[in-house]
Amino acid sequence: MTSSSESDSEYGRTIDTVETNFAILQEIKNTDGGTISAIADVLDLSQATVHHHLATLRKIGYVKKEGTSYYPSNRFLTLGGRARKREAVFQIGRDYIEQLSDETDETVRLVVNCNDYALTLYQDTGDAVEQPRTYVGDEADLHSSASGKACLAHLPPEKVASILDERPLTQYTENTITDREELLQEIDEIRQKGLAFDDRERFPNIWCVSVPMLTETGDFLGAVTVSAPTSRRDRDWFHDEIPGILKNASGVIEVSSAYAQWTE
Protein backbone atom coordinates (compact mmCIF):
# COMPACT_ATOMS: atom_id res chain seq x y z
CA MET A 1 0.00 0.00 0.00
CA THR A 2 1.52 3.33 -1.09
CA SER A 3 1.26 6.35 1.11
CA SER A 4 -0.19 9.51 -0.33
CA SER A 5 3.03 11.52 -0.64
CA GLU A 6 3.28 15.05 -1.90
CA SER A 7 5.80 16.94 -4.06
CA ASP A 8 6.68 20.54 -4.79
CA SER A 9 6.37 21.73 -8.36
CA GLU A 10 5.87 24.94 -10.32
CA TYR A 11 2.14 24.39 -9.68
CA GLY A 12 2.54 24.27 -5.88
CA ARG A 13 2.08 21.10 -3.82
CA THR A 14 1.05 18.09 -5.88
CA ILE A 15 0.01 14.54 -5.02
CA ASP A 16 2.14 11.73 -6.45
CA THR A 17 -0.69 9.18 -6.29
CA VAL A 18 -2.71 11.16 -8.80
CA GLU A 19 0.21 11.10 -11.21
CA THR A 20 0.55 7.33 -10.77
CA ASN A 21 -3.16 6.99 -11.36
CA PHE A 22 -3.00 8.88 -14.66
CA ALA A 23 0.15 7.03 -15.72
CA ILE A 24 -1.86 3.81 -15.42
CA LEU A 25 -4.71 5.34 -17.44
CA GLN A 26 -2.30 6.51 -20.15
CA GLU A 27 -0.84 3.03 -20.28
CA ILE A 28 -4.18 1.26 -20.78
CA LYS A 29 -5.04 3.83 -23.44
CA ASN A 30 -1.71 3.49 -25.28
CA THR A 31 -1.80 -0.32 -25.31
CA ASP A 32 -5.55 -0.43 -25.95
CA GLY A 33 -6.21 -2.55 -22.89
CA GLY A 34 -3.73 -3.80 -20.34
CA THR A 35 -3.37 -6.52 -17.74
CA ILE A 36 -2.24 -5.81 -14.20
CA SER A 37 1.07 -7.61 -14.59
CA ALA A 38 1.92 -5.88 -17.88
CA ILE A 39 1.11 -2.44 -16.49
CA ALA A 40 3.08 -3.13 -13.32
CA ASP A 41 6.08 -4.13 -15.43
CA VAL A 42 6.05 -1.09 -17.70
CA LEU A 43 5.47 1.45 -14.94
CA ASP A 44 7.70 -0.29 -12.40
CA LEU A 45 4.95 -0.55 -9.82
CA SER A 46 3.86 -3.45 -7.63
CA GLN A 47 0.94 -5.50 -8.94
CA ALA A 48 -0.95 -4.71 -5.75
CA THR A 49 -0.60 -0.95 -6.38
CA VAL A 50 -1.82 -1.26 -9.94
CA HIS A 51 -4.70 -3.42 -8.78
CA HIS A 52 -5.81 -0.89 -6.14
CA HIS A 53 -5.67 1.97 -8.61
CA LEU A 54 -7.70 0.09 -11.21
CA ALA A 55 -10.22 -1.11 -8.63
CA THR A 56 -10.76 2.50 -7.53
CA LEU A 57 -11.17 3.66 -11.12
CA ARG A 58 -13.66 0.87 -11.80
CA LYS A 59 -15.59 1.78 -8.67
CA ILE A 60 -16.07 5.37 -9.90
CA GLY A 61 -16.76 4.27 -13.47
CA TYR A 62 -13.70 5.51 -15.36
CA VAL A 63 -12.28 2.07 -16.14
CA LYS A 64 -13.87 -1.15 -17.29
CA LYS A 65 -12.55 -4.69 -17.17
CA GLU A 66 -12.93 -7.25 -19.92
CA GLY A 67 -11.49 -10.65 -19.09
CA THR A 68 -8.15 -9.81 -17.49
CA SER A 69 -7.70 -6.56 -19.45
CA TYR A 70 -8.57 -3.05 -18.32
CA TYR A 71 -9.83 -0.25 -20.64
CA PRO A 72 -10.76 3.43 -20.22
CA SER A 73 -14.56 3.73 -20.03
CA ASN A 74 -16.82 6.10 -21.94
CA ARG A 75 -17.13 8.20 -18.81
CA PHE A 76 -13.99 10.02 -19.95
CA LEU A 77 -16.03 11.41 -22.79
CA THR A 78 -18.04 13.46 -20.30
CA LEU A 79 -14.83 15.21 -19.28
CA GLY A 80 -13.53 15.44 -22.85
CA GLY A 81 -16.86 16.58 -24.23
CA ARG A 82 -17.12 19.30 -21.66
CA ALA A 83 -13.53 20.40 -22.19
CA ARG A 84 -14.06 20.65 -25.92
CA LYS A 85 -17.40 22.45 -25.67
CA ARG A 86 -15.64 25.41 -24.09
CA GLU A 87 -13.21 25.85 -26.98
CA ALA A 88 -14.17 28.67 -29.36
CA VAL A 89 -12.03 27.18 -32.12
CA PHE A 90 -14.10 24.00 -31.95
CA GLN A 91 -17.43 25.84 -31.93
CA ILE A 92 -16.39 27.92 -34.91
CA GLY A 93 -14.38 25.28 -36.73
CA ARG A 94 -16.62 22.21 -36.82
CA ASP A 95 -18.89 23.40 -39.65
CA TYR A 96 -15.92 24.20 -41.85
CA ILE A 97 -14.32 20.82 -41.11
CA GLU A 98 -17.54 19.16 -42.25
CA GLN A 99 -17.66 21.27 -45.41
CA LEU A 100 -14.06 20.33 -46.18
CA SER A 101 -14.70 16.61 -45.78
CA ASP A 102 -17.65 16.95 -48.18
CA GLU A 103 -15.47 18.82 -50.61
CA THR A 104 -12.44 16.53 -50.44
CA ASP A 105 -14.14 13.18 -49.68
CA GLU A 106 -11.28 12.46 -47.26
CA THR A 107 -10.49 12.68 -43.54
CA VAL A 108 -10.39 16.26 -42.26
CA ARG A 109 -9.36 17.18 -38.74
CA LEU A 110 -9.15 20.19 -36.48
CA VAL A 111 -5.98 19.74 -34.44
CA VAL A 112 -4.86 21.76 -31.42
CA ASN A 113 -1.85 21.78 -29.16
CA CYS A 114 -2.58 19.92 -25.92
CA ASN A 115 0.38 19.52 -23.57
CA ASP A 116 2.62 19.79 -26.62
CA TYR A 117 0.98 16.93 -28.44
CA ALA A 118 -1.09 17.33 -31.60
CA LEU A 119 -4.57 16.52 -30.34
CA THR A 120 -7.46 15.83 -32.74
CA LEU A 121 -10.25 18.05 -31.41
CA TYR A 122 -12.69 17.30 -34.21
CA GLN A 123 -12.70 14.95 -37.17
CA ASP A 124 -15.05 14.37 -40.06
CA THR A 125 -14.68 11.87 -42.86
CA GLY A 126 -15.78 12.12 -46.48
CA ASP A 127 -17.46 9.46 -48.56
CA ALA A 128 -14.20 7.87 -49.69
CA VAL A 129 -13.18 7.00 -46.13
CA GLU A 130 -14.18 3.69 -44.53
CA GLN A 131 -11.88 3.29 -41.57
CA PRO A 132 -9.92 6.41 -40.59
CA ARG A 133 -6.66 5.86 -38.69
CA THR A 134 -7.24 8.85 -36.45
CA TYR A 135 -10.10 9.68 -34.07
CA VAL A 136 -11.32 12.50 -31.83
CA GLY A 137 -8.88 12.58 -28.92
CA ASP A 138 -6.08 11.10 -31.01
CA GLU A 139 -2.71 12.40 -29.81
CA ALA A 140 0.38 12.56 -32.04
CA ASP A 141 3.99 13.51 -31.38
CA LEU A 142 4.66 16.98 -32.76
CA HIS A 143 7.56 15.85 -34.97
CA SER A 144 5.69 13.05 -36.71
CA SER A 145 2.57 14.73 -38.09
CA ALA A 146 1.75 17.64 -40.41
CA SER A 147 -0.31 19.46 -37.79
CA GLY A 148 2.32 18.76 -35.12
CA LYS A 149 5.04 20.30 -37.27
CA ALA A 150 2.71 23.22 -38.03
CA CYS A 151 2.42 23.70 -34.27
CA LEU A 152 6.19 23.53 -33.73
CA ALA A 153 6.56 26.21 -36.42
CA HIS A 154 4.63 28.65 -34.24
CA LEU A 155 5.92 27.84 -30.75
CA PRO A 156 8.63 30.12 -29.32
CA PRO A 157 12.13 28.78 -30.24
CA GLU A 158 13.02 28.14 -26.59
CA LYS A 159 9.85 26.09 -26.16
CA VAL A 160 10.69 24.04 -29.27
CA ALA A 161 14.20 23.46 -27.92
CA SER A 162 12.93 22.25 -24.56
CA ILE A 163 10.41 19.88 -26.17
CA LEU A 164 13.12 18.43 -28.42
CA ASP A 165 15.49 18.11 -25.44
CA GLU A 166 12.93 16.25 -23.36
CA ARG A 167 11.36 13.96 -25.93
CA PRO A 168 12.93 11.48 -28.31
CA LEU A 169 12.24 11.86 -32.04
CA THR A 170 10.60 8.46 -32.19
CA GLN A 171 10.74 6.80 -35.58
CA TYR A 172 7.30 5.60 -36.72
CA THR A 173 7.99 5.00 -40.41
CA GLU A 174 11.06 5.14 -42.59
CA ASN A 175 10.12 8.75 -43.44
CA THR A 176 9.74 10.08 -39.88
CA ILE A 177 12.13 12.96 -39.34
CA THR A 178 14.50 11.85 -36.58
CA ASP A 179 17.24 14.41 -37.17
CA ARG A 180 16.85 17.55 -35.09
CA GLU A 181 18.49 19.90 -37.61
CA GLU A 182 16.38 18.57 -40.44
CA LEU A 183 13.25 19.07 -38.35
CA LEU A 184 14.18 22.64 -37.44
CA GLN A 185 14.82 23.43 -41.08
CA GLU A 186 11.47 22.02 -42.11
CA ILE A 187 9.52 23.98 -39.49
CA ASP A 188 11.22 27.15 -40.80
CA GLU A 189 9.82 26.41 -44.24
CA ILE A 190 6.41 25.66 -42.78
CA ARG A 191 6.40 29.05 -41.06
CA GLN A 192 7.19 30.78 -44.34
CA LYS A 193 4.73 28.87 -46.51
CA GLY A 194 1.92 28.52 -43.98
CA LEU A 195 1.65 24.90 -45.05
CA ALA A 196 2.89 21.61 -43.55
CA PHE A 197 3.08 18.17 -45.16
CA ASP A 198 3.29 14.68 -43.69
CA ASP A 199 4.98 12.52 -46.28
CA ARG A 200 4.05 9.12 -44.78
CA GLU A 201 5.86 10.08 -41.56
CA ARG A 202 3.42 8.76 -38.96
CA PHE A 203 1.72 5.90 -40.81
CA PRO A 204 3.50 4.18 -43.70
CA ASN A 205 0.73 4.69 -46.26
CA ILE A 206 -0.95 7.95 -45.21
CA TRP A 207 -0.06 11.44 -46.23
CA CYS A 208 -1.44 14.73 -44.97
CA VAL A 209 -1.37 18.44 -45.55
CA SER A 210 -2.04 20.92 -42.78
CA VAL A 211 -2.47 24.68 -42.46
CA PRO A 212 -1.60 26.37 -39.16
CA MET A 213 -3.93 29.01 -37.74
CA LEU A 214 -2.83 31.78 -35.39
CA THR A 215 -4.52 33.85 -32.71
CA GLU A 216 -4.75 37.63 -32.89
CA THR A 217 -1.53 37.80 -30.90
CA GLY A 218 0.32 35.46 -33.25
CA ASP A 219 0.20 32.31 -31.10
CA PHE A 220 -0.66 28.88 -32.48
CA LEU A 221 -4.44 28.45 -32.48
CA GLY A 222 -4.70 25.08 -34.21
CA ALA A 223 -4.39 23.45 -37.59
CA VAL A 224 -6.72 22.06 -40.20
CA THR A 225 -5.49 18.83 -41.76
CA VAL A 226 -6.56 16.71 -44.70
CA SER A 227 -5.24 13.15 -44.85
CA ALA A 228 -5.65 10.25 -47.25
CA PRO A 229 -4.02 6.91 -48.06
CA THR A 230 -1.37 6.81 -50.79
CA SER A 231 -3.46 4.23 -52.61
CA ARG A 232 -6.20 6.77 -53.27
CA ARG A 233 -4.53 10.16 -53.59
CA ASP A 234 -1.24 11.15 -55.16
CA ARG A 235 1.30 13.74 -54.15
CA ASP A 236 0.04 16.32 -56.67
CA TRP A 237 -3.41 16.22 -55.12
CA PHE A 238 -1.93 17.25 -51.76
CA HIS A 239 0.43 19.85 -53.17
CA ASP A 240 -1.70 21.47 -55.87
CA GLU A 241 -5.38 20.88 -55.22
CA ILE A 242 -5.87 20.86 -51.47
CA PRO A 243 -3.82 23.78 -50.06
CA GLY A 244 -6.05 26.46 -51.65
CA ILE A 245 -9.26 24.85 -50.40
CA LEU A 246 -7.72 24.35 -46.98
CA LYS A 247 -6.52 27.95 -46.68
CA ASN A 248 -9.95 29.32 -47.59
CA ALA A 249 -11.44 27.41 -44.65
CA SER A 250 -8.62 27.81 -42.13
CA GLY A 251 -8.49 31.56 -42.79
CA VAL A 252 -12.18 31.87 -41.97
CA ILE A 253 -11.76 29.86 -38.73
CA GLU A 254 -8.76 31.98 -37.79
CA VAL A 255 -10.43 35.35 -38.41
CA SER A 256 -13.75 34.26 -36.88
CA SER A 257 -11.96 32.99 -33.75
CA ALA A 258 -10.32 36.38 -33.31
CA TYR A 259 -13.68 38.13 -33.59
CA ALA A 260 -15.45 35.60 -31.32
CA GLN A 261 -14.61 37.77 -28.30
CA TRP A 262 -16.85 40.49 -29.78
CA THR A 263 -19.88 38.27 -29.81
CA GLU A 264 -19.45 36.47 -26.49
CA distance 109 to 119: 10
In 3D, which of 98, 94, 116 has the Cα closest to residue 107? 98
Q: Are 40 and 47 in contact (CB under 8 A)?
A: yes
Least CB distance from residue 150 to other proteins, whole Å? 11
Instruction: Say if strands 63-66 and 12-15 run parallel, antiparallel, or are unpaired.
Output: unpaired
Pick the stretch among 33-41, 53-61, 160-168, 213-221 that binds other proteins (CB under 8 A).
213-221
Q: For other proteins, which residue of 213, 223, 226, 242 counts as binding (CB under 8 A)?
A: 213
Instruction: Name which of 41 and 188 has its Cβ closer to other proteins.
Output: 188
Pick the stretch among 8-16, 53-61, 78-86, 248-256 that binds other proteins (CB under 8 A).
248-256
Q: For other proteins, which residue of 211, 223, 226, 242 counts as binding (CB under 8 A)?
A: 211
Amino acid at 116: D
CA distance 226 to 79: 27
Q: For other proteins, which residue of 130, 217, 231, 236 counts as binding (CB under 8 A)?
A: 217
Instruction: Name which of 45 and 187 has its Cβ closer to other proteins.
Output: 187
Q: Are 200 and 230 in contact (CB under 8 A)?
A: yes
What single DSSP character describes residue 118? E
Residue 263 binds to other proteins (criterion: CB under 8 A): yes
Nearest 5°: the CA angle 42, 48, 54 is 75
Q: How many residues sit close enough to other proteins to count as binding (CB under 8 A)?
A: 21
Summarize as ranges the residues that interact with other proteins (CB under 8 A).
194, 211-214, 216-217, 244, 247-248, 250-252, 254-256, 258-259, 261-263
